[in-house]
């Protein structure tokens, strides 16, 4: 595989199952000038700092990030939450199935845990108020998990497949859904549904200028009913620079919030700090530069 990564081999399965800057993926906000009382233009305000990304691979292949290595004593960990909803699950939501998890988001706020939510565009359309709330809270950042939550490589856990020619459009459609919902804290990261990808998918998404984000710790929360088992799996797997994949979907991951009630204090007791993916990528890039 030709995937370019800050780290080593990338996992390819999630068990159930990114993102331009605020406003428009891959674009820089225009600097605006205002007139002073004398009529002369005032200096343009500085543009927001762009989230760090990983350099594209050979031939423009989308880069892949899994974990920040070589951080030494800097015990940081990123908790990520997939807000999954496929393009064709609207009828199920209409019948009362919950693809959201507001209690989880509320707890993360109460515990002051910075987090990255990998959201599908369909989820943002179904829960626009929640998407806006998450996407305007500085504790969180929203990354792209596709619009449809269909697979970008087949087979992939039985998911329908996106054709290569439609992959970038699917990602762009998710960005548009975030903008329509009013989310602002959007970062240029993308997570493949199911974690499934190949070189063809990486090549198809090259023009989207996103960094694909995988993980090195599988929480096992998808369809789990034992919160203690999820807890133990996360605590056993985390190491400095780890990136944990979890879910923000009540119907598919009902025990995630309960597991976090132990995971958060236990990791803090071990000296870990929680960071968003953008901070983790930045830490990894700085470490590479210094070695």
Q: Which residues sit opposite 161 in a β-bridge?
A: 151
Where exactly are the structural domains of the chain? 58-290
At 101, is the secondary structure helix, strand, or coil? coil
Model pLDDT, residue 43 = 37
Residue-averaged pLDDT of the chain:
85
Tens of pLDDT, residue by residue over 63-93, are 999 999 888 888 999 999 999 999 999 999 9
- Written out in words, the top-level CATH class of the domain with range 58-290 is alpha beta
CB 159 within 8 A of CB 149: yes
Distances (CA, A) of 275 to 184, 243, 254: 18, 10, 24
Tens of pLDDT, residue by residue over 88-135, are 999 999 999 999 999 999 999 999 999 999 999 999 999 999 999 999
Model pLDDT, residue 225 = 97
Q: How confident is the model at residue 142 (pLDDT cuts 50, 70, 90)?
A: very high
Higher pLDDT pick, 24 / 163 = 163
């Amino acid at each position: 595989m030709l995937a370019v990564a800050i780290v080593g081999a990338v996992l390819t399965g999630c068990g159930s199952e990114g993102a331009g800057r605020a406003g428009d993926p891959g674009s820089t906000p225009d600097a605006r000038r205002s007139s002073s009382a004398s009529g002369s233009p005032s200096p343009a305000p500085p543009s927001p700092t762009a989230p760090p990304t990983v350099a594209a691979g050979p031939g423009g292949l989308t880069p892949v990030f899994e974990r920040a290595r070589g951080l030494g004593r800097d015990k940081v960990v990123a908790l990520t939450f997939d807000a999954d909803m496929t393009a064709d699950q609207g009828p199920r939501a209409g019948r009362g199935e919950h693809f959201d998890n507001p209690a989880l988001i509320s707890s993360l706020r109460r515990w002051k845990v910075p987090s990255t939510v990998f959201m599908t565009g369909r989820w943002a359309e179904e829960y626009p108020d929640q998407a806006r709330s998450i996407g305007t809270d500085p504790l969180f950042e929203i990354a792209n998990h596709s619009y449809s939550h269909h697979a970008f490589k087949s087979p992939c856990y039985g998911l329908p497949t996106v054709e290569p020619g439609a992959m970038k459009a699917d990602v762009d459609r998710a960005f548009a859904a975030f903008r329509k919902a009013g989310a602002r804290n959007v970062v240029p990261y993308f997570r493949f549904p199911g974690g499934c990808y190949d070189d063809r998918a990486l090549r198809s998404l090259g023009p989207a200028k996103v960094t694909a984000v995988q993980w090195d710790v599988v929480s096992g929360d998808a369809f789990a009913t034992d919160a203690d088992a999820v807890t133990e799996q996360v605590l056993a797997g985390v190491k400095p620079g780890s990136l944990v994949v979890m879910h923000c979907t009540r119907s598919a991951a009902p025990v995630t919030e309960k597991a976090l009630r132990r995971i958060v204090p236990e990791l803090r007791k071990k000296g870990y700090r929680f960071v968003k993916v953008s901070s983790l990528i930045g830490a990894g890039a700085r470490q590479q530069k210094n070695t």
